[in-house]
Amino acid sequence: MYSLRISALSASRLAETFHVAHLSEHTIAEVEEWTERLADAAPPPKGDGSPTRELASEERAFILNERIVTKASFEYWASRYAFCSVEGAGIKRMYPLFDSQMLALQEFARIEERIADNQLAEGILVNALKARRLGMSTLAQAAVWHRLTTQTYLQAVTASDVPAQSSYTFGIGKLMFEKLPWWLKPQLRAFSNTFPEEYELATGCHVWCHAGDSKRGMEGERGQIGRGKGPSIVHLTELATWDDTGQIDSALLPTVPYSPRALVFFESSPRGRNNWWHKHWLVSMAGHGRFTPIFIPWYAEPRKYRKPAPPDWTPSETTLAHARRCEEQGPRWLHRERVDLTREQLYWYEGTRAYYEAKDTLGDFLQEYAADPEECFVFSGRSLISVEVQQRIQDGMRPLAAAFEIAPLMDVEKAKVLEGRA
Amino acid sequence: MSQDLLSLLPLELPPGYGFHPSPPRIFPDDLYDRLLIWELPRRDQLYVLSADVGDGIGQDRSVVDITRVGTLKEPDEQVAQFVSAHVDPIGLAPLIDAIGRLYVGSDNLEALCAVECNNHGLVTQSELQLHLGYSNFFIWQYLDAADPERALSSRIGWWTTQRTRPLILARWLKKVRSLDPVTNLPDYRINSPILLEEIRSFQTVGGIREAEADPTNPNAHDDCVMTSAIGVHVSSTIQYEANEPTDQARRRMNEEKQRRAAVDQNKTEGRDYINQAFTAEEAGLPDPMQVEDYDDNAYF
What does the pLDDT look like over A46-72, one tens digit per residue? 777 788 899 999 999 999 999 999 999
Q: Side chain identity at A302, as an amino acid letter?
A: P
Task: Please give the average per-residue pLDDT across A279-285, as a whole number.
Answer: 92
Question: Which pLDDT belongs to residue B292?
Answer: 54
Nearest to B189 among A390, A396, A406 (CB): A396
DSSP B277: S
A378-388 tens-digit pLDDT: 654 567 888 88
For A130, A307, B14, B158, the CA distances from B111, given in Å and listed in that order, are: 45, 52, 13, 15
- Give me the percent of chain B exceeding a pLDDT of 90: 43
- Quote the CA–CA distance of A228 and A55 in Å, as a whole number: 43
What is the residue-averaged pLDDT of chain A?
A: 88
Q: Does A418 touch chain B (CB under 8 A)?
A: no
Strand A233-237 to A91-93 pairing: unpaired
Chain B residue with minimum CA distance to A378: B200
Question: φ and ψ at A408, to 5 degrees?
Answer: -65, -40
Task: Tell me which chain B residues have a C-beta less than 8 angstroms from the C-beta of A375.
Answer: none
**Residues 72-101 of chain A whose Cβ lies under 8 A from any Cβ of chain B:** none
Residue A220 has pLDDT above 50, yes or no: no
Residue A422 has pLDDT above 60, yes or no: no
Domain ranges of chain A: 4-296, 299-396
Question: Which pLDDT belongs to residue B299?
Answer: 42
- Quote the CA–CA distance of A22 and A66 in Å, as a whole number: 12
DSSP B285: S
- The pLDDT-based confidence of A218 (bands split at 50, 70, 90) is very low
Question: Which pLDDT belongs to residue A127?
Answer: 96
Task: Tell me which chain B residues have a C-beta less than 8 angstroms from the C-beta of A403.
Answer: 1, 6, 21-24, 34-37
Chain B residue with minimum CA distance to A414: B16
| A4-296 to CATH, choices 1.25.40.10, 3.40.50.10420, 3.40.1440.10, 3.40.50.300 | 3.40.50.300
**Residues 279-298 of chain A whose Cβ lies under 8 A from any Cβ of chain B:** 286
Question: φ and ψ at B50, to 5 degrees?
Answer: -110, 145
Residue B285 has pLDDT above 70, yes or no: no
- Give me the percent of chain B exceeding a pLDDT of 70: 79
Q: CB–CB of A152/A319 below 8 Å?
A: no
ipTM above 0.90, yes or no: no
Higher pLDDT, B168 or B216: B168
B32-85 tens-digit pLDDT: 999 999 999 998 999 999 999 998 887 789 999 999 999 888 999 999 999 999
Q: In this complex, do A401 and B17 lie within 8 Å of one another by their Cβ atoms?
A: no
Q: How many CB atoms lie within 10 A of CB B258?
A: 13
Q: CB–CB of B203/B233 below 8 Å?
A: no
Q: Where do the H-state alpha helices sit in A117-193?
A: 136-150, 163-178
- The pLDDT-based confidence of A109 (bands split at 50, 70, 90) is very high
> DSSP readout, A279-348?
HHHHHHHTT-SSPEEEEE-GGG-TTTS--PPPTT----HHHHHHHHHHHHHHHHHHT-S-----HHHHHH
pTM of the model: 0.65
Least confident stretch, A261-265, A301-305, B40-44, B235-239: B235-239
Q: How many CB atoms lie within 10 A of CB A166?
A: 25
Beta carbon pairs, A and B, within 8 Å: 139
> DSSP readout, A392-416?
HHHHHPPPP-EEEEE-HHHHHHHHH
Residue burial B273-300, b: 16+ Cβ < 10 Å; e: rest: beeeeeeeeebeeeeeeeeeeeeeeeee
Q: Which residues pair with A296 in a beta bridge?
A: A130
Question: Which pLDDT belongs to residue A184?
Answer: 95
- Quote the CA–CA distance of B45 and B36 in Å, as a whole number: 19
Task: Tell me which chain A residues have a C-beta less than 8 angstroms from the C-beta of B25.
Answer: none
- Residues recorded for chain B: 300
- Residues recorded for chain A: 422
- The pLDDT-based confidence of B251 (bands split at 50, 70, 90) is confident
Chain B residue with minimum CA distance to A415: B16
Least confident stretch, A23-27, B89-93, B197-201: B197-201
Report how far apart the first and last C-alpha atoms of chain B are (Å, whole number).
72
Question: Which pLDDT belongs to residue B123?
Answer: 93
| E strand or H helix at B61 | none
Residue B7 has pLDDT above 60, yes or no: no
Nearest to A382 among B21, B37, B203 (CB): B203
- Quote the CA–CA distance of B164 and B182 in Å, as a whole number: 32
Name the architecture of domain B5-253: 2-Layer Sandwich (3.30)
Residue A107 has pLDDT above 70, yes or no: yes
